[in-house]
Structure 1
């Protein structure tokens, strides 16, 4: 098998040694395809990265470079102008191998194997040799910066796993160098403080806190975030807790996953996955930015999807701009089109839709505009609009919604603990929190997440409600901090086919808390 390495200068090797790829542009095209794999990349997208001002001959030139790249990797590049893709199953691709090692490390950490997670992440770091070989264009530099950040996140995750495994002394030197190089990254300072404290150096841990506090004040005019402040208090009180045990010991067999695959939707490539193989099709519109290939990692989410897939075929997707789909600016209309494209790609006819919170803003227009594709709609704490207006006195004040969007735009020092707000049942579970943060970073960058939240905050689909003819079940978790009975009342008034089931549950995401109640109500409603 050919070896393709792009985490550093491009290197292609076969049984006979190094394989020549061609000129600089061909190398850059192969690098871009490898970094995106298995997601296809369109000719316009490649052109936009290769040139600041694409020439008239850009299409033919890109196609020529792709042809040469395909030859270099033994035909492992497939597709056409709508999108070319490198198949990581046909080559030993370093970026794919590093991604799989990181996935296995997340699973190991969730199961309590910190040593195993550290070893896997260390192997992932070994795959990196430097910066990818990318064009010196504006888009190329942005892509380079994204991968530099990705490498730093891997380093942080590895060091965190080493500290969690009780080997903090081994990374103290590296943490000192990292905090000097990246003095505004509070997570690195927190890891340095924890490693010092657990090495018996309480005074040095407190000195590190004083240093980062001074740096943040001088550079940003800010105090340390709540996580660092809580850590300082714990160090002062000699009360830093030991690493918690695994969140759950009753792990079950891995959730079968078909995918990720890709559907083409208006020039965008939309990632989707299929769970189960039953005769009834369910479209799951998950409310988080967790990519579809991570559904199998966390026991809570895996168990919930497994229950939903019992006797059914569950189809899930990453809306464009999130997860493994094209990182394009989305809209509600585009997300509805993405859902239809995925259903078409799966050969699905009419489906039952399960949506939660903000994804109700996709489910309701889908049902209204494509009644021939939707049998029923189940909404868990759904709404037609999130924020209040003069003619909609329900939901969150605009100030709260703006604050949540601002939090997602802040990469390294969130000012509010969002997890405690939306999912208190797992807020104290350090292992779940680490997984949630890691997969959230994969699902959307801070800037992208903020843009997505701004879209959702301003979204209003009340106008489509009269056209929803499919029966609608509203599952209302009244104990959730974001619950507002006004949302339910409005939907019940404007959806003549709707009915509501209420019960107390403090968690917002449908796959946390009393998931069994959600699955039971869904099964009874859909008679499946």
Structure 2
């Protein structure tokens, strides 16, 4: 008989969550870390390496015992969450992970292609496992932060070109909220305000950026963004 149950889903963006049969499942911290590690890896990992990453302060023997315990405590949905053998671990082939979709989306945008994914801005603006400070998470968090900022900026320009200024503005604002000193995103917002016929909003955006840049780094905005608002200053 064909299994028609929905696949297990792991959410890493915006916080960890596991859904089985379309319902959220409580996951103990050790199992949560194990599933997150396998979801981030996206390729098989040696059991000894996984144990060392997850329990870095334990002896190898103790870490291996903790790993066996966590595997035993895994939820057992109709489709397996983890495939394991004597040496290797990997996420079950049917498990869906939002971060995998987000990485593919960022790559599509970076390749100057138009994304087909609905809610692209929402997916790209989400933080990866916020509040997690493990070393093996932070490397991915740093990569994702830069990848999604570049993707959001490219997506903003693409949406603007296609006439969707609302989503273009949302994408640029997501960049500014993540990196308030990123001038290219502020410049896009200023240009969008000008295109919408809102010179006062454009000047306010510029002034907010200029003040923050001066207060935090002691720097001034570049001539490129200043030239955008200079014709407006005497009229606002």
> TM-score, normalization: structure 2?
0.67
Residue 215 of structure 1 deviates from its aligned partner by 2.0
* CA contact 1:50–1:137 (8 Å) conserved in 2: no
For residue 229 of structure 1, what is the aligned residue in structure 2?
223
* CA contact 2:202–2:229 (8 Å) conserved in 1: yes
For residue 145 of structure 2, what is the aligned residue in structure 1?
149
Alpha-carbon separation, structure 2, partners of 1:217 and 1:223: 6
Residue 160 of structure 1 deviates from its aligned partner by 4.1
Distance 1:190 1:75, change over 3 A: same
Distance 1:96 1:175, change over 3 A: closer
- Structure 1 residues not aligned, in runs of 5+: 111-115, 239-528
For residue 94 of structure 1, what is the aligned residue in structure 2?
98
SS of the residue corresponding to residue 119 of structure 2 reads helix
Tell me the alpha carbon deviations over residues 409-438 of structure 1, each in whole angstroms, 9 at most, x when there is no partner. xxxxxxxxxxxxxxxxxxxxxxxxxxxxxx
Tell me the alpha carbon deviations over residues 267-325 of structure 1, each in whole angstroms, 9 at most, x when there is no partner. xxxxxxxxxxxxxxxxxxxxxxxxxxxxxxxxxxxxxxxxxxxxxxxxxxxxxxxxxxx
- Structure 2 residues not aligned, in runs of 5+: 1-5
Distance 1:83 1:222, change over 3 A: farther
Equivalent positions of 1:273-292 (< 5 A) are: none
Residue 61 of structure 1 deviates from its aligned partner by 1.7
Higher helix proportion (structure 1 or 2): 2
For residue 285 of structure 1, what is the aligned residue in structure 2?
none
Distance 1:187 1:64, change over 3 A: farther
1:60 equivalenced with 2:54 (yes/no) = no
For residue 78 of structure 1, what is the aligned residue in structure 2?
83
* CA contact 1:6–1:34 (8 Å) conserved in 2: no
Residue 45 of structure 1 deviates from its aligned partner by 4.2
For residue 198 of structure 1, what is the aligned residue in structure 2?
195
Tell me the alpha carbon deviations over residues 244-269 of structure 1, each in whole angstroms, 9 at most, x when there is no partner. xxxxxxxxxxxxxxxxxxxxxxxxxx
Tell me the alpha carbon deviations over residues 330-359 of structure 1, each in whole angstroms, 9 at most, x when there is no partner. xxxxxxxxxxxxxxxxxxxxxxxxxxxxxx
Tell me the alpha carbon deviations over residues 220-249 of structure 1, each in whole angstroms, 9 at most, x when there is no partner. 13344xxx53344366589xxxxxxxxxxx
1:132 equivalenced with 2:139 (yes/no) = no
Higher strand proportion (structure 1 or 2): 1
SS of the residue corresponding to residue 51 of structure 2 reads helix
For residue 279 of structure 1, what is the aligned residue in structure 2?
none
Alpha-carbon separation, structure 2, partners of 1:19 and 1:211: 41
Residue 202 of structure 1 deviates from its aligned partner by 4.5
* CA contact 1:125–1:155 (8 Å) conserved in 2: no
Residue 31 of structure 1 deviates from its aligned partner by 1.7
For residue 164 of structure 2, what is the aligned residue in structure 1?
167
Match of 1:6 among 4, 11, 33: 11
Q: Which runs of 4+ in 1 moved over 6 A?
A: 127-130
For residue 45 of structure 2, what is the aligned residue in structure 1?
41
For residue 187 of structure 1, what is the aligned residue in structure 2?
184
* CA contact 1:76–1:91 (8 Å) conserved in 2: yes
For residue 319 of structure 1, what is the aligned residue in structure 2?
none
Residue 102 of structure 1 deviates from its aligned partner by 3.7
The count of aligned residue pairs is: 223
Tell me the alpha carbon deviations over residues 106-144 of structure 1, each in whole angstroms, 9 at most, x when there is no partner. 45x44xxxxx43x6362473598775388x554266258
> TM-score, normalization: structure 1?
0.35
For residue 315 of structure 1, what is the aligned residue in structure 2?
none
Q: Which has the higher contact order (CA 8 A, sep 6+)?
A: 2
Residue 163 of structure 1 deviates from its aligned partner by 2.9
The RMSD of aligned alpha carbons is 4.1
For residue 120 of structure 1, what is the aligned residue in structure 2?
117
SS of the residue corresponding to residue 90 of structure 1 reads coil
Alpha-carbon separation, structure 1, partners of 2:121 and 2:85: 32
Residue 100 of structure 1 deviates from its aligned partner by 3.2
Bigger radius of gyration among the two: 1
For residue 3 of structure 2, what is the aligned residue in structure 1?
none
SS of the residue corresponding to residue 2 of structure 1 reads coil
